[in-house]
Structure 1
Amino acid sequence: MPDTALDGLRIIELAEGVAGPYCGKLFADLGADVVKVEPPEGDRTRRAGPFKDGEPNPEGSGLFLYLNTNKRGVTADLATDEGREAVLGLLAGADALVTDLYEDDLRALGLDYDDLRERFPALVFTSLTPFGRGGPHGSYRGNAFTSYHASGMSWETPTNQVRDPANQPPLAPGNPQADYMTGATGAAATMGALFQRESTGRGQLVDISGQEANANHIRTTISSVVHNPDLVTGREKVNFDFLVPCSDGYVFLTPYHFDHWWDRFQEIMGEPDWARSEAFLTAADRALNCDAIEPLVHLWSVQYTRAELYQMSLDIGIPCFPVYSPAEMMESTQFKARDFLESVEDPEAGAFVRPGPAALLSETPYRQAGRAPRLGEHNAELLSQPAAEPPAPASGDQRPADRRAAGDLPLSGVRVIDFGWILSVPHSTAWLGALGADVIRIESEHRLDLLRATGMTRGSGGIPGLNRSGPFLGLNYSKRGVTLNLQTDRGKALAKELVSSADIVTMNYAAGVAERLGLGYQDLTAIKPDLIMMFGSPLGQTGPEAHSTGWGPTTLAYTMLPHVTGYPGGTPSSMGGSYPDFVVGVHMAFAMMSALRHRDRTGQGQYIDVAMGETTVAMTPEPLLEWTMSGTDQPMRGNRDPGRAPQGVYPSAGEDRWVAISVEDDEMWAGLRRALGDPEWARDPGLGTLEGRQARHDDIDRELSAWTSSRSPQEAAALLQAEGVAATAVLDGFGLLEDPQLRYRGFFVDIDHPEVGVTASAGIPLRYSETQLHYGSTPLLGQHNREVFTDLVGLEPAEIDQLVEEQVLA
């Protein structure tokens, strides 16, 4: 039996930078044979560092070593016939190709999908580009910076911290987080296509857009503006800021959102008189008066250290996490207990620390000891006699023919019982549902999903109702829904009967709750021995801080990302889109499909432990590598980047309208000069180099701002893109709905709902050439009780009526 989930898969990675290599890393770390194809000079991250003692070394770049663990590597010059033939030889034995080359460039090389599909009909061809293939922006140049700003994410970054919009432009994160989102999306989408190939025998094109992969993260914003078009989407602070000062730094803390949290928080503050003011009586009152309540809380909080406030909040179940620097995060007792951070000794890079896996699989753990390939290390092994077939599966590793029925969709025949709620887990199961799985969502009137409950205060079209929450509708499509009161013995028994027919169970209850309900992994595998169970939580199911309470935006503090995200000299910043909830959900989907592939071949189920904090750190290696390799604590850089100049967000015509520009190299600088009409200031020879432009970045910014401010964001971006410069309009939720590229590519899907009618939702951020995803209506509360409990459990109508009356199906 294989000891890795993806044993037997071969992936050819024809990509540089972050997005493609991170996609490949996710496969390689779970056992796939990933062959990295580099140009003769090597992947550009070999030159990115950080380096031991600051000395550049293509074999010692920390970022390259992290992104390319467990891969084999070859070099090929695609400008030559020999180089292209080498790639074709590798593809002869491959299951999938992952590439970040533009469609036009691939076509010129004879390596585009249309060139390959007849020769390699079973090949899954995954394309990762900034704006996706085709459409008015398909050829636009871009990178992580433009993907983030084009997606609506930067419009919400920082979240509820903008006081002066004119001088606080939309903000990018402190590392290329957008590329990690794109890479994770590519990995999950590729797994779906590989499942489809199981039933059809044919591969297909998997088209991933960086813009869409990031816009996926503000799907609740998109749904909010669709269902409530009068919604104000300005950036200026109108609600609670997660950032709370302490005597030694900051925590991300949210005691205001629910009355029971606020009651508990008053207790640890000593029941101050002001906290009982009528102005702060309800959650709505507190939100309306957030500017009054926050300073009062801060006067109290600065008396305590981060550790003290974290522990006090942990004790009473209120979401709170300390904002950690890399050095502080390395001392986390939770990460130490879970062996998450890995100490590495490399002959070229020296000693450093890297993040561990984005998810833990109990029976097929990731390959921890692997390293990245040296430049051209496997040329002799792979290019002299390229494999004609993928590696042979391990003995006994054959998928049983009757394991599950083939169907029109990748996951046809898979059943998922989803006990998850709010964001990350429901998003992961929306992926599975769209890919064809029968997802049955378990809810209860006695513990309403918080997102569903928002429909009572802001329902679709201004009409309140539990079935009318725009954000809930945009997140939970392609599922069936039942209600079960798990506080009753009969409710728990019925849940177990549903599990007996399931392939996968998902949960994100607080640690220990599932076990107390008799629904823990050991309980459920006694019923279904080959079950796959996926559990999501802030910091994992084990360790001294496993009982921490939180959601994406508070857990983010723990991960270093807010420490490096912010305006220069400012305070740590949260990110848009309830980050990182949805990208964690994408990683969950990838992990579940990987485990399902393993089970299909071996009959072995397993437990998947996804800690939101660990997943996010896995996408934020740069600050940790910088600290452990050079002793540098990465500063907040705003929208700038040490490897690109100019790079920034510049004012455009109109109120709070912006364009993002990223000049990657000297060639793009020449293109920017052309787009601007080659003004005299730009002809200065000193600006012809990166170093020269960095030294005069402020001067360039002033000149660029003067040029952009008289043009719309779209006009400025188009003029720059016409000359090959990476640029994009910075979009908000309404801007996304009108964006011609997203509309062309069908990112928004129309779904008919029994109560609100046909409305648009953000779809799953992928395009398959041969597979149409399934988008079914989000269920009404308890909509499928009779159908599910009749068909799967065998209850008679009278029994169902009795269970409703007894508040079991409720």
Structure 2
Amino acid sequence: MKSNKSNQPLRGLRILDLCEGKGDSCGRYLADLGAEVMLIEPRQGSPARRAAPVVEGHSLYFATHAANKKSVVLDVTQEDDRTVFYALAQQADILIHSRSEIALQWLNEITVLVESDESHLICLAISDFGDSGPYADYVGSNAVHMAMAGITARSGLKDREPLLPPGQLCYEAAAIQAAWVALVAYWQSAHTHRSGSIDFSVFEASCQILDPALGVTGSAAGGQSATKLAPRGRPPEGKMYPFFPCADGFVRICVLNPRQWQAMSAWLGDDHPYTDPAYANMAKRFKYMREINLLIEALFAKEKSADLVAEGQRRGVPIAAVATPQQVLKDHHFLARGAFTDIDLAAGLQGKAPAGYLKINGQRAGIRTPAPALNEHQPSFSTDRLALRSASPAQSTRRPLEGIRVLDLGVIVAGAELGRLFADQGAEVIKVENKAFPDGLRQSLQNKPITESFAQGSRGKKSLGLNLRSEKGKQVFKELVAKSDVVLSNFKPGTMDSLGFGYGELKAINPRIIVSESSALGGSGPMSNSMGYGPLVRASSGLTGLWRYPDDGSGFGDALTIFPDHLAARVSAVAILALLIEREKTGLGGTVSLSQAETILMTLSTELLSESLQGGWLAPCGNRGRFDAPSNLFSCAGDDEWCVIDIEGDEQWLRLCSAVGRQDLAEDQHLKAASGRLAMRDYVEQELSKWTLERPPQQIVETLQAAGIAAAAMARINELPDNPHLKARDFFRINTQPGLDAPLLTENGPAGKSYLPEPEIRPAPFVAEHTRELMRDILQLDEATIASLIESGDLEVMTS
């Protein structure tokens, strides 16, 4: 746990954290980036200190989610403590709370502060559904959000029950979006001198981050939207990214483009039936995919996964082993990159957990200090203060990132999404592209001039057609760097250096430049050159191995997801904005380096720490919750209709029994405590299923939510546009996109209900649509020079 200020761009930012079990990763990530995050706890301590899993009296959840934070105990019933709280809040920049019991106790003081004319405090409230809309009083859980956001319906295998993804992905991903919102609000406040309250909903964030119905889809989708691709039920076993058993487990491959198929075909030998070059065409090959996969299965069957991965890399075939959590914790690549760190929980009790999301300026921005003891710190902030505030306020309607110029070389989902986040907030985002190397999102199965997926991921951007391989094209790019703030890329590691655009070269041109790179496994380490496909990232990080049916060793259920692309984009966005904030003080830029696999590891921090302490604990658990029962998916009346019922604690168990009319279960002494319910969960679930099978899911949800129990009907993504809660909270916007047959339904901003301006929804660009404009406006080139660069092929312009 080393301290290195070069990877702490937010040092001096002051945050009060009143989260208790929801949104905790928001403060943790901001603390990783150097913010001073102070937990305000009641005298008995935050409930997060007792959150499962618990080993020898220590909450592993608290250990992973409160690292780098400070702890101060204040009692709202004591006048002196109220005075201290008020003083701290006056000094703080941001207050985060999760509408928890302690936050509600302090709500009066918080409201007075936020509404004060002199206050600059930003209040970020993170709750399951927000404080308005028809579901505002619903009880949420990770499983509830998975079901309601349309994720569960697409997870699993055809002809089987849906499969809840592992971990707490909704809460972990939403917390990172909350961190993005917090920093955007801070940046806006610094320039407008205006602050206020933000009503942030985990449900809305879940609809945007994990597998969004209205977001970017992968390159294999041919530009189609998720709503058009998703079947009503679960998909058949994946042809696109198939699994193959081998001598010591499974491997997964992604053979998509002609070059990859040629490499795979050569690996199969020269005597199989599919050597004809015509099979390089993906559509033709897919007609025979079952037969081709049988050949690959026979080739791989007796080989070890490590040998197959090495051979695949040598041949240029994208491949990864489906790693177990035990293998992940010992993985030589992750260890070489410092992706894990030791955590001391008590004398003689040490575990291993993911260290942090990414690297800033080449150093891990991760755990520096362990989770604090209760009331370990003094109720005062350090004398260091970031105090980012312009001399004179701008208009409050300004878009937060106005004046920031971003050169966006990003491609496919993670690349598109990162640039869009900045464009939505007012930055000038220039997509640098070349027709010879088209972004996969521009590929259309219908041969349209623009695709729905590209329109979702690149709305509000401008397109510059530029040849980065010619000398004059390189010079144009360098001149743009001199007048820009951020460069984004997600190429294979080393690509930017090979083009002559490594950070050292760009920094020499513009010391204020911030360069962000994202790749599958990071820019260093023995496996850094692995090809960056999401399915392979999930396999390498252990997520895929956990995302399966417990009764089927090969029943992997993540065929349709594109996780973690949208999350990885937000992790990078937060770090970039942190460096922009620091740059206001230092005048210097810096670097952000992200491994998508390590983003996944961080979402499983608690689970991996538990596995390191209790070998074999982290195994696929399917739809069952680990810590109480009933916590599962239940079949309902209707065709493939399901609902989540997810209780937590003895009181909720009694309310459930009352709601379903089973007083006999409430009186059963064997079921009084969670331990007994877990021991008898087969019986409990069987009895509850008798009730759910006779009722449609919405009736079940209304009955149980009225009783204060987390429950949700499984939604399909094509139903989300009609969701009354999303509509009531202005989740949707319309994008009138040229090149599409009809206006495109798109998502609103990331903040939920807030005082921040909404994004200006502008269409995505056609290829090279803005080349002339950008050359004139930014580089002040005359028409003759522009025409000459176009004629020589250094620049490209839009063609009709």
| Same fold by TM-score greater than 0.5 | yes
Matches within 5 A, 1:785-800: 785-800=771-786
Stretches of structure 2 that go unaligned for 5 or more consecutive residues are 218-223
Contact 2:227 2:717 in 1 (8 A): no
CA distance, structure 1, for counterparts of residue 15 and residue 609 of structure 2: 27
CA distance, structure 2, for counterparts of residue 679 and residue 411 of structure 1: 57
Stretches of structure 1 that go unaligned for 5 or more consecutive residues are 459-463
Task: Give deviations 1:620-670, integer Å, cap 9, x for gaps.
Answer: 113321232233341211111221210111122332221111011122222
Q: Which of 472, 489, 506 is 2:488 aligned to?
A: 506
CA distance, structure 2, for counterparts of residue 342 and residue 327 of structure 1: 15
CA distance, structure 1, for counterparts of residue 30 and residue 694 of structure 2: 47
- Residue aligned with 2:91, SS: coil
CA distance, structure 1, for counterparts of residue 93 and residue 618 of structure 2: 39
CA distance, structure 2, for counterparts of residue 86 and residue 143 of structure 1: 33
CA distance, structure 2, for counterparts of residue 223 and residue 355 of structure 1: 28
Contact 1:30 1:365 in 2 (8 A): no
Q: Name the CA shift for 1:702/1:347 in 2 (closer, same or farther; >3 Å).
A: closer
Matches within 5 A, 1:558-569: 558-569=540-551
2:790 match: 804
CA distance, structure 1, for counterparts of residue 580 and residue 373 of structure 2: 33
Following superposition, the deviation at residue 506 of structure 1 comes to: 0.5
- Residue aligned with 2:115, SS: coil
CA distance, structure 1, for counterparts of residue 392 and residue 587 of structure 2: 11
The answer to whether 1:448 aligns with 2:448 is no
- Residue aligned with 1:98, SS: strand
Contact 2:158 2:233 in 1 (8 A): no
1:148 match: 146
Following superposition, the deviation at residue 231 of structure 1 comes to: 6.5
2:250 match: 250
Contact 1:646 1:697 in 2 (8 A): yes
Q: Which of 752, 762, 775 is 1:767 aligned to?
A: 752
Following superposition, the deviation at residue 601 of structure 1 comes to: 1.3
TM-score between the two structures when normalised by the length of structure 2: 0.91
Identity of aligned residues (%): 28
Contact 2:63 2:345 in 1 (8 A): no
- Residue aligned with 2:658, SS: helix
2:504 match: 522
Matches within 5 A, 1:164-179: 164-165=159-160, 168-169=161-162, 171-179=163-171
The answer to whether 1:495 aligns with 2:477 is yes
Following superposition, the deviation at residue 299 of structure 1 comes to: 2.1
Task: Give deviations 1:390-443, integer Å, cap 9, x for gaps.
Answer: 74337xx87786999997021111110000100112211211111111111112
Task: Give deviations 1:438-491, integer Å, cap 9, x for gaps.
Answer: 1111121111111111x2x04xxxxx3131x11111111121112212232222
2:70 match: 72
Task: Give deviations 1:270-291, integer Å, cap 9, x for gaps.
Answer: 2351333799552123344444
- Residue aligned with 2:493, SS: coil
1:461 match: none
CA distance, structure 1, for counterparts of residue 354 and residue 499 of structure 2: 33
CA distance, structure 2, for counterparts of residue 412 and residue 747 of structure 1: 23
Write the letter of the residue equivalent to 1:208: F
Contact 1:163 1:236 in 2 (8 A): yes
Q: Which of 6, 10, 13 is 1:6 aligned to?
A: 10
CA distance, structure 2, for counterparts of residue 540 and residue 477 of structure 1: 27
Write the letter of the residue equivalent to 1:218: D
Contact 1:425 1:585 in 2 (8 A): yes
2:352 match: 353
CA distance, structure 2, for counterparts of residue 441 and residue 391 of structure 1: 42
CA distance, structure 2, for counterparts of residue 491 and residue 220 of structure 1: 37
Following superposition, the deviation at residue 81 of structure 1 comes to: 6.5
Write the letter of the residue equivalent to 1:249: G
Matches within 5 A, 1:271-350: 271-276=270-275, 282-348=281-347, 350=349
Q: Which of 90, 115, 118 is 2:115 aligned to?
A: 118
Q: Name the CA shift for 1:344/1:30 in 2 (closer, same or farther; >3 Å).
A: same
Matches within 5 A, 1:365-764: 366=365, 368-378=367-377, 381-382=378-379, 386=380, 391-393=383-385, 408-453=398-443, 455=444, 457-458=445-446, 464-467=447-450, 469-571=451-553, 572-574=556-558, 576-678=560-662, 680-681=664-665, 683-756=667-740, 757-764=742-749
Write the letter of the residue equivalent to 2:206: N
CA distance, structure 1, for counterparts of residue 23 and residue 339 of structure 2: 23
Q: Name the CA shift for 1:588/1:426 in 2 (closer, same or farther; >3 Å).
A: same
Contact 2:261 2:280 in 1 (8 A): no
CA distance, structure 2, for counterparts of residue 401 and residue 31 of structure 1: 25
Following superposition, the deviation at residue 311 of structure 1 comes to: 1.2
- Residue aligned with 1:728, SS: strand
Q: Name the CA shift for 1:106/1:74 in 2 (closer, same or farther; >3 Å).
A: closer
Contact 2:521 2:596 in 1 (8 A): yes
- The alignment covers a number of residue pairs equal to 779
Contact 1:219 1:471 in 2 (8 A): no
Q: Name the CA shift for 1:635/1:107 in 2 (closer, same or farther; >3 Å).
A: closer
Q: Name the CA shift for 1:400/1:139 in 2 (closer, same or farther; >3 Å).
A: closer
Higher mean C-alpha deviation, range 678-687 or range 477-486? 678-687
Write the letter of the residue equivalent to 1:759: L
CA distance, structure 1, for counterparts of residue 706 and residue 544 of structure 2: 35
Contact 1:185 1:208 in 2 (8 A): no
Q: Name the CA shift for 1:693/1:392 in 2 (closer, same or farther; >3 Å).
A: same
Contact 1:342 1:355 in 2 (8 A): yes
Contact 2:41 2:72 in 1 (8 A): yes
Contact 2:154 2:231 in 1 (8 A): no
CA distance, structure 2, for counterparts of residue 400 and residue 230 of structure 1: 47
Contact 1:280 1:289 in 2 (8 A): no
Q: Name the CA shift for 1:127/1:434 in 2 (closer, same or farther; >3 Å).
A: same
The answer to whether 1:218 aligns with 2:222 is no
Write the letter of the residue equivalent to 1:517: L
The answer to whether 1:180 aligns with 2:165 is no
CA distance, structure 2, for counterparts of residue 108 and residue 711 of structure 1: 39
Contact 1:496 1:527 in 2 (8 A): yes
Matches within 5 A, 1:77-92: 77-78=75-76, 87-92=85-90
Q: Which of 759, 779, 783 is 2:769 aligned to?
A: 783
The answer to whether 1:38 aligns with 2:36 is no
CA distance, structure 2, for counterparts of residue 623 and residue 242 of structure 1: 27
Q: Which of 149, 163, 169 is 2:158 aligned to?
A: 163
Write the letter of the residue equivalent to 2:480: L
Q: Name the CA shift for 1:222/1:622 in 2 (closer, same or farther; >3 Å).
A: same
Contact 2:227 2:718 in 1 (8 A): no
Following superposition, the deviation at residue 603 of structure 1 comes to: 0.6
CA distance, structure 1, for counterparts of residue 187 and residue 293 of structure 2: 50
- Residue aligned with 1:760, SS: strand
Q: Name the CA shift for 1:655/1:282 in 2 (closer, same or farther; >3 Å).
A: farther
Higher mean C-alpha deviation, range 6-15 or range 748-757? 748-757
Higher mean C-alpha deviation, range 677-686 or range 582-591? 677-686
- Residue aligned with 1:131, SS: coil
CA distance, structure 2, for counterparts of residue 655 and residue 112 of structure 1: 50
Contact 1:329 1:560 in 2 (8 A): yes
- Residue aligned with 1:206, SS: strand
- Residue aligned with 2:510, SS: coil
